[in-house]
Structure 1
């Protein structure tokens, strides 16, 4: 059985993915923004091994979170599920782009990495000059393109790790809204499958999935030059270098 860490697993898709992995007999460590939400997370998934807390909008808290996760030992998979949608640009950048970068760099390298993307990344732009100065130009779509590019960079630099991105669809969670038309179960099944399945179709890297099928992502995310610029910009903003 696998040991899996899931960010943003106090509610929504992260909570549901954790629940399914526990049903399958895997060991799961949860993450919540603060202690109160941490208690909620454990109440929803009492079979979890542990819950760690840290607000991903703060770089120092995110770095401390990585240290806390490492203190629990090695993981087979890390699911970067946490994200914000209707939020100020500064928070979108911190939570959706910089936090996954920091955690990828600082958490002991797992066998599998899963990044929660969105088809909205197709409308995003990798204009890295927007990271500094007027950050208000960073949008949710931009942040998901950043995440897609990070995933592709990880897949390229760490060939021994399965690194993939997932579009869960527009599903009825707190983020998606009650009127979202997507299938909630299908919204979390793919990350569960990528995190723990021995299916040869899941044991791949550098792919973009929707409902357990490979899809087409923005070609901008495949641009090695842009990937390197993204990593360098994240390093400048966070003080954390990508491990070679």
Structure 2
């Protein structure tokens, strides 16, 4: 069984992912913005632990990484936390996965939640520096981060997942996609070896799709990593 961290797990896709992994017997650590969001002891009993911190606040992200380190090296980290609200989108959706990845021990597997909307994101990284980036921008950048890590970290598998437009608080009650299918792919990528491609895939419902061309461009990947390092003051190993 695997030790797995799921960020943004108080509700929606993150919560469903964490619960399903725990039901399968994995040791699941959930991240939530504050502990009040998982106050039910019957819920928390199924997980190995709960860590807290607001990923919209860059100063709190290192503390989230410190809490996670108390559990040791994770077999998988699922970067599920997300928001559509500007200006928080770039911090939660892009900076937080980057900073947590840079500050934590390298896991065996990384899973980053993307969106089909990443295809309309900009490659103008000045938007990252100013904090005015849109949701689509932030999802293009986190997709690029996932594929850049796949190309650079030989010992770590890294994928991006489009969970679909699912009926969560973010997606809305009328969202047309299947909620269960929306979280099954990240569970599978976090726990299975029989995945092709082994690393660097962009997935939708356990099938690979073609992401924005920039996300696979080594030059854009390098520019993004440099911009993230400048913005955060933290370098990847």
TM range (shorter): over 0.9
Distance 2:215 2:129 in 1: 20
User: Structure 1-normalised TM-score?
Assistant: 0.93
SS in 2 for 1:182: coil
Are positions 1:111 and 2:105 aligned together?
no
Q: CA deviation at 1:38?
A: 3.9
Are positions 1:26 and 2:20 aligned together?
no
Alignment of 1:59-98 (within 5 A): 59-85=58-84, 87-88=85-86, 90-98=87-95
SS in 2 for 1:132: helix
Q: CA deviation at 1:174?
A: 0.6
Given that residues 194 and 202 in structure 1 are in contact (C-alpha distance below 8 angstroms), is that contact kept between their aligned partners in structure 2? no
Residue number among 164, 188, 195 corresponding to 2:159 in the alignment: 164
Structure 2 unmatched runs, 5+? none
User: Structure 2-normalised TM-score?
Assistant: 0.96
Given that residues 129 and 227 in structure 2 are in contact (C-alpha distance below 8 angstroms), is that contact kept between their aligned partners in structure 1? no
Runs of 4+ aligned structure 1 residues displaced above 3 Å come to 42-45
Given that residues 38 and 53 in structure 1 are in contact (C-alpha distance below 8 angstroms), is that contact kept between their aligned partners in structure 2? no
Given that residues 162 and 203 in structure 1 are in contact (C-alpha distance below 8 angstroms), is that contact kept between their aligned partners in structure 2? no
Given that residues 123 and 141 in structure 1 are in contact (C-alpha distance below 8 angstroms), is that contact kept between their aligned partners in structure 2? yes
Cα deviation 1:13-35 (Å, max 9, x = unaligned) = 01001111111111100000012
Structure 1 unmatched runs, 5+? none
Q: Which residue is equivalent to 1:193?
A: 188
Q: Which residue is equivalent to 1:176?
A: 171
For the structure 1 residues 209 and 21, does the alpha-carbon distance in structure 2 shift closer, same or farther, using more than 3 Å as the test? Answer: same
Q: Which residue is equivalent to 1:52?
A: 51
Number of matched residues? 237
Q: CA deviation at 1:139?
A: 0.8
Given that residues 38 and 44 in structure 2 are in contact (C-alpha distance below 8 angstroms), is that contact kept between their aligned partners in structure 1? no
Q: CA deviation at 1:223?
A: 1.3
Given that residues 32 and 53 in structure 1 are in contact (C-alpha distance below 8 angstroms), is that contact kept between their aligned partners in structure 2? yes
Cα deviation 1:146-177 (Å, max 9, x = unaligned) = 00110011001102211001000000001100
Given that residues 207 and 214 in structure 1 are in contact (C-alpha distance below 8 angstroms), is that contact kept between their aligned partners in structure 2? yes
Q: CA RMSD in A?
A: 1.3
Distance 1:235 1:55 in 2: 20
SS in 1 for 2:203: strand
